[in-house]
Chain A
Amino acid sequence: MLNTVVLIAILIISAATIGLIYRVIKGPTTPDRVVALDAIGINLVAIVALISIALNTNAFVEVILLIGILAFIGTVAFSKYLEKGVIIENERDR
């Protein structure tokens, strides 16, 4: 029962990721693509959690935290680039 539900949930989240990939490809502006990529990273966290249930091991638990942190840092860097043109500013007199 639990294994069937986990496999169906992995299929549903994969379908959701394909829909987000459609938005990444077609999205009219750059922030659309960044929003969709952030949601894809969040979905990857869910897929890793479900796979660690399906394989009955807790060896992938660190990957959940790691993907969460990397998706957040990537989104922050993209939004700073879109807003200011640079990611790390060097000038002091601002």
Chain B
Amino acid sequence: MNEIANIAIIVLIIIGAFLSLVAAYGVIRLPDIYTRNHAASKSATLGVMSILLGTLLFFYVKDGFFNSRVLLGIVFIFMTSPVAGHLIARAAYNSGVQLWDKSVQDDLKNAPHMKKSASKD
């Protein structure tokens, strides 16, 4: 195996594992659901994309063919994971989960469509 590709794979895997650990630390330590969602959706997504990029490079160097399913997995996770984070934060706000008590700004509190959809159910 090519040594430069080996080092690149190792660096990508280490970055991905570190970002996953940072995401878990944020989910444990941060005070409310919105900040936890912020940590989980961004950091875990970038970490997994980095690890999958390392996997793609590993199979490309080892076998010499471009593994398109790993590339499809990278694109899919990059598109769907922020959407899932947005949906669950929106569901949390609409089902009445409170913000952290030291939060200073809540712009959605006076938005009329949020009141209507909350009172409709």
Contacts and interface: CB of A to CB of B under 8 A. Distances in A.
Contacts, number: 162
Interface residues of A, number: 50
Contacts of B37: 31, 35
Counting chain B residues whose Cβ lies within 8 A of the other chain, the interface size class is 35 or more
Contact of A45 (B52, B69, B87, B89): B52
A86 B121 CA distance: 11
Interface in A22-76: 22-23, 29, 31-32, 34-36, 38-39, 42-43, 45-46, 49-50, 52-53, 56, 58, 61-62, 64-65, 68-69, 71-72, 75-76
Interface of A: 1-2, 5-6, 8-9, 12-13, 15-17, 19-20, 22-23, 29, 31-32, 34-36, 38-39, 42-43, 45-46, 49-50, 52-53, 56, 58, 61-62, 64-65, 68-69, 71-72, 75-76, 78-80, 82-85
